[in-house]
Chains A and B, each alone.
Chain A
């Protein structure tokens, strides 16, 4: 069983704050890392798929970095807005296993 850890488990920030959270995963046989955003009562929505060490991806105010050698990824949100409130999930994909293994998620709440 792969140990994919996300920290913190939950986070409360004020509107306008910038924030970041971490996804840690075993680096052996790593192939790709997926990030998803899951708003309450909606479907998980894909944010990024990252594969290369040092990859950086950006989508609006959200960006992510990847370190495959040490097995971690950071997700950054610049100037948080209430609509950013959601659970953010990471899921690495490995060459052996052929499945996404999801972390427990970071629940972000942005207060207006």
Chain B
């Protein structure tokens, strides 16, 4: 089975711009979660999508949004970029049968490294 893929792998943007990141889960997985990793904060949960609906949400401002398509692929959008949004963005997929990450193994993608100048 192919693993979780994320595109693009690297991205440079300037403050005020917006960006869209893409995540393709493992075939058969219906849950996609997004995480932000920064040196100071570690890995932080952004949101989780299941069956095209946002099921859970972390503590991030409304500039961070996402969506999921019928084939379970997910996109994450950040509008009005700030310098502090520079981070590694990881997505993870799981079967999604148990209402959240809970007991299910999460399979992570390689991440998209975003640099905001």
Contact = CB atoms under 8 A, between A and B. Distances in A.
Nearest to B44: A102
Interface residues on A, range: 20 to 34
Given A99-B56, A102-B43, A102-B44, A93 B106 contact: no
B42 A49 contact: no
Contact of B102 (A1, A45, A93): A93
A103 B101 contact: no
Interface in A5-24: none
Q: Which of B90, B101, B110 has the most CB of A within 10 A?
A: B101
Nearest to B111: A43
Contact of B42 (A34, A46, A51, A102): A102
Contacts of A34: 101, 105-106
B103 A51 contact: yes
B8 interface: no
B101 A93 contact: yes
A86 to B, nearest CB: 13
A103 B43 CA distance: 8
Contacts of B90: 43-44
Interface of A: 1, 31-32, 34, 36, 42-46, 49, 51, 89, 91, 93, 98-105
Given A31-B102, A100-B33, 12 more contacts: A31-B103, A43-B3, A43-B108, A43-B109, A43-B110, A43-B111, A44-B43, A44-B90, A44-B92, A49-B103, A100-B101, A105-B42
The 8 lowest CB-CB distance pairs between A and B, nearest first, are A102-B43, A43-B108, A99-B45, A98-B100, A98-B56, A46-B105, A44-B108, A100-B101
